[in-house]
Amino acid sequence: MSRRYRMLTGWGRTPASAAHVHSLEGRDEVPTILEKASTRGSIARGLGRSYGDAAQRSGGSIITLERHRAIDWLTDGRIRAEAGVSFDELIGEVVPRGFFVPVTPGTRQVTIGGAIAADIHGKNHHRDGSLADHLESVTLMLPDGEQREVSPADDAELFWATVGGMGLTGIILSAVVRLIPIETSLMVVETRRASDLEALMAAMAEGDQHHRYSVAWVDLVATGTHLGRGVIMHGDHAGSSDVTGRQSEEPLAYRPPKPRAIPWAPPVGLVNRWTARAFNELWYRKSPRSRVGQLQSIPSFFHPLDAISNWNIVYGPSGFLQYQFVVPSDASDTLVEIARRIASSGFPSSLTVLKRMGPGNDGLLSFPLEGWTLAVDFPVAEGIDEFLDRLDELVVGAGGRVYLAKDSRMRPEMIPLMYPRLDRFAKVRTRVDPKGLLKSDLAVRLQIP
């Protein structure tokens, strides 16, 4: 068992805390590690892409599964992936064999374990739901050392507590995932500009009926008549007939570009009102008014930010946070109100993403629900805390919620209002972890029982 005392932060690089990091070798080590850290608690950590403190436990133990990265092919396009497998590895494995992951987040740098714990969604949520909807089973190491394979049929309550459960029900060891078949590794993409938020939302809703994937980038710096202007991207997997020439010889070729790294961390944040405005203006102008039938690679359609491996450092030493919330479809006026407040707040949002979500699942702490989700990146600055507290109230008032995997600043009293199945989650926790051995800084901060 290798163990190091290390400082850890989330992707937002906000408050670091120190913990003993164990790179798990044998599965049987889990109970010993948990017992040793019983006063502070332990939590599993993948690639550290949660924005806040979900994969931190100050003074306690962090379990990584970087040595648990096996992928086994099962019949009927299913695979069993160990928790430490990254989406980068998984996509690289399955695409050349004519399959794709059923759900992919905006980065390939997350592990299967982390993805299940956050019940991640992707650009196809309106059609395909979140990751949990494509899992046959999850193998879990319970805090007492018992290994369990749970599925919606076998211990449904534990299964639905585990997906989206932020790692608090056990150490996720592996999962059986149902893949989707693809004919080529390319995407057919349609891009359209919309001059304001209303037009953007209407175009998105319309396009979602015809396309598997959709996402919109929104300018929340521009105010007035330009408020919420944006660019909508719809996409589908290209069929073999869509591909011609050299690409048709190797339709499933998958060669992600090597990521580049920013060589040094800027001493001050580079994202401010002026740079954010310039960035948004540029992005809007460089996007085509309307373009159909463009072929794009999987990395450029799904994971454009992966081109730079450490883009999070541009926010400087204070770090940044991502505010992602969802409101039900009938509360689109709340979404517009929040967009208006963000645009006029003066807090710079360099990167804002809008997406329509389909119905949620039975996950007790899963984020998605049918409606609109908006994800906004903000540099941490004075006053951002109170500003977002006000937005939380609007979100709760509309029957929506904030995404735990992104959170780093919510008030604990918001949690039961946003996650009404919290008491059921608490019951599962009492059953599988009566001693409270699993704990994260996020769970402590938000008083998730």
Q: Is residue 415 within 8 Å of residue 448, measured between CB atoms?
A: yes
Interface region with another protein, contact rule CB under 8 A, candidates 25-33, 175-183, 349-357, 441-449? 441-449
Q: How far is the CB of 182 from another protein (least distance, A)?
A: 38
Q: Sign of the C-alpha dihedral, residues 336, 385, 9, 66?
A: negative
In this chain, which of 19, 79, 182, 238 binds another protein, going by CB under 8 A?
Answer: 19
Rounded to the nearest whole angstrom, what is the least distance from the CB of residue 2 to another protein in the complex?
18
Query: Interface with another protein includes 64 (CB under 8 A)?
Result: no
Query: Contact between 359 and another protein (CB under 8 A)?
Result: no
Q: Which is nearer to another protein, 221 or 446 (CB)?
A: 446
Q: What is residue 434's three-state secondary structure? A: coil
* Interaction between residue 16 and another protein (CB under 8 A): yes
Tokens of 112: 């299967």
The H helix count followed by the E strand count for the chain is 14, 19
Alpha carbon distance 230, 118 (integer Å): 27
DSSP 134: G
Check binding of 147 to another protein (CB under 8 A): no
| 52 touches another protein (CB under 8 A) | yes
The set of residues, in sequence order, having a beta carbon less than 8 Å from that of 448 and lying 6+ positions away, is 166, 168, 365, 415, 422, 425, 442
Give the nearest distance from C-beta 166 to another protein in angstroms: 14
Site for another protein in 375-404 (CB under 8 A): 380, 382, 384-386
Q: Does 58 bind another protein (CB under 8 A)?
A: yes
Residue 304 CB, nearest approach to another protein (Å)? 25
From the list 42, 43, 47, 53, which residue makes contact with another protein (rule: CB under 8 A)?
53
Minimum distance between the CB of residue 265 and another protein, rounded to whole angstroms? Answer: 15
- Closest separation between CB of residue 63 and another protein, Å? 15
Interface residue with another protein, options 1, 3, 7, 156 (CB under 8 A)? 7
Number of residues that bind another protein (CB under 8 A): 34
Sign of the dihedral defined by the CA atoms of residues 37, 40, 42, 48, in that order? negative
Q: Which of 412, 420, 423, 434 binds another protein (CB under 8 A)?
A: 412
Q: Which of 173, 169, 172, 144 is nearest to 158 (CA)?
A: 169
**Amino acid code (one letter) for 269:** G
Q: What H or E segment, with its residue span, contains residue 300?
A: helix 298-302
CB of 402 to another protein, least distance (A): 13
| Residue found under tokens 């030493």 | 317
Report the chain's C-alpha Rg in angstroms: 21
Site track for another protein across 317-356, x = CB under 8 A: xxx-x-----------------------------------
Rule CB under 8 A: say whether 15 interacts with another protein.
yes
Candidate segments 68-76, 118-126, 332-340, 409-417, binder of another protein by CB under 8 A? 409-417
* Closest by Cα among 46, 39, 61 to 10: 46
Own/partner contacts of 410-419, CB < 8 Å, gap of 24 or more, are 410/446, 412/445, 412/446, 412/447, 415/446, 415/447, 415/448, 419/364, 419/365
- Work out whether 12 is an interface residue with another protein (CB under 8 A): yes
Q: Give the closest residue to 188 by CA, choosing from 50, 298, 111, 274.
A: 298
- Work out whether 441 is an interface residue with another protein (CB under 8 A): yes
68-90 in b/e form (b: 16+ CB < 10 A) is: bbebeeeeebebbbbbbbbbbbb
How distant is the alpha carbon of residue 365 from its chain centre?
14
60 binds another protein (CB under 8 A): yes
Considering beta carbons, is residue 60 or 106 the nearer one to another protein?
60
The span of 138-146, 254-262, 298-306, 312-320 binding another protein (CB under 8 A) equals 312-320
The H or E element that residue 199 is part of is helix 197-208
Name the residues that contact another protein, by CB under 8 A. 5-7, 12, 14-19, 40, 52-53, 57-60, 317-319, 321, 380, 382, 384-386, 408-412, 441, 444-445
